Amino acid sequence: MVNLTYDALDLHVIRGRAEEAAVERDGAPVDVASLTEEVAALAGAFRAVGVTPGAAVLVALPDEYDELVAFLATLRLRAVPVLVERVHAAVQGTEGGHHPSAATLAVRHRPHAVVTATTWPGHVHAPAAVVYRGPEPTDPTVEVAWDVALRAGRTDPAPASRPEPDPEVPAADAHAAAVAATAYVVGDRAVLVGEVPEAGTQIGRRLGALIGGRTVTLRG
């Protein structure tokens, strides 16, 4: 199965576009190489706390850049990012619909790890690891600060892993299973690998832009 983070980042580095802007964040560019390095470091930290291919990682971060980094880091391990759908102000007289909360998504998907900017209610779901972007960790056996995770991950960054082919499974069957697998979840929507890039979600549009070599503009 193609690794989506490889397509979005590593492939552009290989093609000599490392210094081009991948993201514009509040007017400041982040080049492809820098974003790849940060994503690989966070993926290395995720791997160290036991995130494996197919595992769910709940990402509940208000900062759009942090959300993108955590999303791509999860995809880098071929794990499944589960994102809280952003609720925007009403547009042209329409009302925003109901979107499941982080707690609801945790109950549904039982994530191995949670990345959050608020204190996690352990009674809702007890993940194997919580990465905090803001709150101070209080349980070092489970919780880690975002900056600490990045520093640790930089010592052993994760490559864009791909599955080893099973010689007993026909290539056509393996491909069909791969494209039918869930790539990521946003609120109530599960997006399949075969649907990527898709424009039905904000993160999907951003992933599609990165895969296509276009700069993504983010707010802080």
Query: pLDDT, tens digit, for every residue of 29-58?
Result: 999 999 999 999 999 999 999 999 999 999
Q: Strands across the sheet with 216-218, in order?
A: 28-31, 21-25, 216-218
Give CATH superfamily name and number for 4-218.
ANL, N-terminal domain (3.40.50.12780)
In order of 27, 71, 107, 195, the CA distances from 210 in angstroms are 17, 13, 31, 16
Whether 220 shows a pLDDT value over 70: the answer reads: no
SS3 216: strand
SS3 21: strand
Q: CA 194 from chain center: how many Å?
A: 17
Residue whose entry in the numeric block shows the structure tokens 């999907």? 204
Mean pLDDT throughout 8-21? 97
The DSSP bridge partners found for residue 82 are 58, 185
Distance CA 190, CA 184 (A): 6
The domains of the chain are located at: 4-218
**What is the identity of the amino acid at 156?**
D
Distance CA 41, CA 157 (A): 5
Residue 117 contacts residue 145 (beta carbons within 8 Å): no
Q: Any residues with CB less than 8 A from the CB of 205 and at least 6 apart, and which?
A: 197, 199
Determine the straight-line distance between the first and last CA of the chain, rounded to whole angstroms: 33
DSSP string, 42-86: HHHHHHHTT--TT-EEEEE-SSHHHHHHHHHHHHHTT-EEEEPPP
Please state the pTM of the whole predicted model: 0.92
Going by DSSP bridges, is the β-strand pair 182-186/189-192 parallel, antiparallel, or unpaired? antiparallel
Whether 74 shows a pLDDT value over 90: the answer reads: yes
Of the pLDDT bands very low, low, confident and very high (cuts 50, 70, 90), residue 27 is confident
Q: Is 20 exposed, middle or buried (0-12, 13-18, 19+ CB in 10 A)?
A: middle
Of the pLDDT bands very low, low, confident and very high (cuts 50, 70, 90), residue 128 is very high
Distance CA 175, CA 180 (A): 9
Give the model confidence (pLDDT) of 158-201 as tens digits.
999 776 666 777 766 666 767 889 999 999 999 999 999 999 99
Give the model confidence (pLDDT) of 83-117 as tens digits.
999 764 434 443 445 789 999 999 999 999 999 99
